[in-house]
Amino acid sequence: MIHDMEVLEKEGPAYERRKQRFQSWYESVFKWHPNFMYTPNQVINWTEIKKSMSEWKVGLVSSSGAHLRSQKPFDIVSDEGDWSYREIPVETDPKDIMISDSHYDHSDADLDVNCMFPIVTLKELVKDGVIGSIPSKFYGFMGFVPVPQDLITQTAPEVAQKLADEKVDVVILTPGCAVCHQTLGIIQNIIEGVGITTIMTTLKPELTEQVHVPRAAYLKYPYGYSAGPANDLNMQKTIVKDVLELIPVIKEPGSIVKMPYRWHGHIE
């Protein structure tokens, strides 16, 4: 358990530096994606969890571009992106999951999808008694959705309802690319709005805080490792457990906690 949380301040010099980084990114994104629509959540939804962690049913939603090899790949060509989603049964062998996304380097995740889509991690946490259970399906999006209207009106509410139908208590969300952080923040807030507690990992806190999400954990890792380093299940389990443990202690909507992990490079 992380006892001394480092919550990112919402004012002061550090906040202003992050705001400048966000502004620089915002100005540059149009060079690559001129149709990008900055779409922050107007109201932060908030659902508190009353159960103890060992009773939680924990779901997973990722904007990493993860899907079954047997499913249609995400559209990585369209300038409009792809706001569809894929259902991934929890009993799936991780080797049968692949990633379709051209906006970040997922070469390590191609070998160990758990570093982006922590399907094994969550199963292990159930086995260890840390969490109570997992639902029958997890969900994969491709986070490159520069124009998110259909995501907001169609696909994110569909997934939120499916999670509610399975009586999921908590959802952890993991991003892929930079634009993914906006996409995932929108999905997160919609899920929280149907009465499910959520937390996302963020690799780009300056964007996540401007999107206005319920709660997030800042993992100071490169893109491609939003659920831990590749090929290190013990560290992946530690990170995901610590992220989930933040949920009952974060009391203020919009809070982002900086995790005490630093990138040490590729692990063979």
In 3D space, the residue among 76, 86, 203, 59 whose CA is nearest the CA of residue 155 turns out to be 86
Backbone angles phi, psi at 229, to 5 degrees: -70, 150
In 3D space, the residue among 218, 151, 162 whose CA is nearest the CA of residue 186 turns out to be 151
Full-model pTM: 0.95
What is the per-residue pLDDT across 210-220, written as a single tens digit (0 to 9) for each?
Answer: 999 999 999 99
Task: Considering only CA atoms, give the Rg of the chain.
Answer: 17
H helical segments located in 33-172: 107-111, 119-127, 149-150, 156-165
What is the per-residue pLDDT across 13-65, written as a single tens digit (0 to 9) for each?
Answer: 999 999 999 999 999 999 989 999 999 999 999 999 999 999 999 999 999 99
Q: In this structure, are residues 148 and 37 in contact, taking their beta carbons and an 8 Å threshold?
A: yes
What is the per-residue pLDDT across 209-254, written as a single tens digit (0 to 9) for each?
Answer: 999 999 999 999 999 999 999 999 999 999 999 999 999 999 999 9
H or E segment to which residue 181 belongs: helix 178-192
78, burial (CB in 10 Å: exposed 0-12, middle 13-18, buried 19+)? exposed
